[in-house]
Amino acid sequence: MKVFVASLATETNTFSPVPTDRANFLAAFYAPPGRHPATPTLCSAVFPSLRSRASREGFELVEGTATWADPGGLVQRQTYEALRDEILDQLRAALPVNAVVLGLHGAMVAQGYDDCEGDLLARVRALAGPDAVIGATFDPHSHLTPKRVENLDILNAFLEFPHTDFVARAEQVVDLTLRAVRGEIRPVISVFDCRMIDVLPTSQQPMRGFIDSLRALEGQDTVLSVSLIHGFLAGDVPELGARMVVITDNDPERGARLAREKGMDLFALRGATRMTQHGVEEALHLAAARVAAGATRPVVLADTWDNPGGGVAGDGTLILRAMLDAGLNDVGVATIWDPMAVTFCLAAGEGATLTLRFGGKSGPGAGDPIDATVTVLKAVTEAWESFGASRVPLGASSVVRIAGTRVDVILNTNRAQTFDPDIFSGLGIDIAEKKYLVVKSTNHFYAAFQPVADEILYVDAGTHYPSDARRTRYRKLSRPIWPIVEDPHAVEA
Ligand SMILES: [Zn+2]
């Protein structure tokens, strides 16, 4: 038995002004054949899983390239085609194979390609042939197209958001693929279009219980795997939206019935799953009230939609501007992405005072640049923060204090979501002296900030991130979905 494995992944925010090219893949994660580390990445956990199965069971594993770019805007056409063809050439050289396993994200969009993964899978199928078993893992924040399903035998998505189960899901796809190659199962994929798009965190109810109910179905009778594709709000593609996926052992009727049943169960939860969000004014009012009441720890304001983890620039200034206007003091901001301003701070040097324009430069919608007299408290060529056990590079970074205040702002050159309070301490900001912290993250910051925060407030600052489908001008969406249409299941697609 011979199995080929590769991984090509990123999450494309088609509304983002930050283009994605090969340099973004090389900078984030790029492992040529045989060079994948022993540890998994989010979208390449099929590599270590297949390695251990191959060494235990004695089949031949041929490794292709594994690569990932941090979320950003549209992928350059040449970049996508070159990475795709690199993997296809590796597969061609490995033929014949019994199986192909791919670690995908599922929300990659390139210039001229709304469905990169569908394009890749169709080409993989054409090379590997109709008898090869093809399996793939997806991030649930993705788009499930018919082209992908047609060319796959096995697929699943992480059930958890945050994606704490990505290793277990990769192991499931590997296991089902190997069982299919050995003729132990005949997988059939059933998909139901839930015709909705929403934010579906599983760390809280009602999604916690819903995901548990999906997990309970796996392994019952003929049900091999159940997945929920959440969809990805920031991808303007025809298939945008949630899909329920059930894989059965040759039991398409039961698969279709279950997918519809659970899909409609999810539809019934629409609008009830998000974290509570505040507008800027309301959030600042609530935060100031906590401070006035004698909070001994900082109030954390999460700028949920100016989160580089969702592909935006992360140079938004709306919350900081409002805090300055409101006269709030003792503030720490992590971070505002501004490579030009960091260059200026490095040139001016630590201790220097200068007039600086920072933030709000990448495009409209996230606030105007801030012009201020600042003192450079810190200017370094490399900085980082923790994310669990891993280190996230911030690139060259500086800390500026706005004149006449104790408002300290971290400026960075690598777009990075805020994950950990050590982003502040690493750059000399003592959060014990701060009353307010502003972070750029939707939910991944929560675990590390919760223990040091008086309170956490999620803020919808009104940035241009397409967080509300009703207000987003999707041009390619091809069918009715909630919340754009109140009852899309009553409408002919
Ligand atoms: Zn995701």
Structure tokens at 84: 């795709």
pLDDT for the residue numbered 199: 92
463 pLDDT tier (thresholds 50, 70, 90): confident
Amino acid at 291: V
pLDDT digits (tens, 9 = 90+) for 141-199: 999 999 999 999 999 999 998 888 999 999 999 999 999 999 999 999 999 999 999 99
The pTM score is 0.91
pLDDT digits (tens, 9 = 90+) for 106-147: 999 999 999 999 999 999 999 999 999 999 999 999 999 999
The answer on pLDDT for 315 being more than 90 is yes
The answer on pLDDT for 390 being more than 80 is no
Instruction: Give the residue from 490, 488, 491 showing the smallest Cα distance to 241.
Output: 488
pLDDT for the residue numbered 389: 73
User: 245 in helix, strand or coil?
Assistant: strand
> In the chain, pLDDT over 70 holds for what percent of residues?
100
pLDDT for the residue numbered 453: 97
pLDDT digits (tens, 9 = 90+) for 234-264: 999 999 999 999 999 999 999 999 999 999 9
> From ligand 1's centre to the CA of 333, what distance in Å?
25
Q: What is the mean pLDDT of the chain?
A: 96
> From ligand 1's centre to the CA of 142, what distance in Å?
8
> From ligand 1's centre to the CA of 207, what distance in Å?
15
**DSSP-derived secondary structure for 422-482:** HHHHTTT--GGG-SEEEE--SSTTHHHHGGG-SEEEEE----SS---TTT---SS--S--B
pLDDT digits (tens, 9 = 90+) for 60-101: 999 999 999 999 999 999 999 999 999 999 999 999 999 999
**375-395: average pLDDT:** 91
- The domain covering 2-269 belongs, at the CATH homologous superfamily level, to Response regulator (3.40.50.2300)
pLDDT digits (tens, 9 = 90+) for 19-39: 999 999 998 899 999 999 998
pLDDT for the residue numbered 338: 98
> From ligand 1's centre to the CA of 108, what distance in Å?
12
pLDDT digits (tens, 9 = 90+) for 444-456: 898 899 999 999 9
The answer on pLDDT for 493 being more than 70 is no
Q: What is the DSSP letter of 72?
A: B
Instruction: Give the residue from 359, 397, 361, 362 showing the smallest Cα distance to 376.
Output: 397
> From ligand 1's centre to the CA of 107, what distance in Å?
9
pLDDT for the residue numbered 133: 98
Q: What is the DSSP letter of 20?
A: B
Extents of the domains making up the chain: 2-269, 280-459
* Residue 250, CB-side half-sphere exposure with 13 Å CA sphere: 5
CB atoms under 10 Å from CB of 271, counted, come to 10
Name the helix (H) or strand (E) containing 67.
strand 60-68
287 pLDDT tier (thresholds 50, 70, 90): very high
> From ligand 1's centre to the CA of 358, what distance in Å?
30
The residues near 248 (Cβ < 8 Å, ≥ 6 apart) are 187, 188, 190, 222, 223, 224, 254, 255
Determine contact, residues 213/246, Cβ cutoff 8 Å. Answer: no
Place of tokens 């159940």: 226
> From ligand 1's centre to the CA of 239, what distance in Å?
17
Amino acid at 430: D
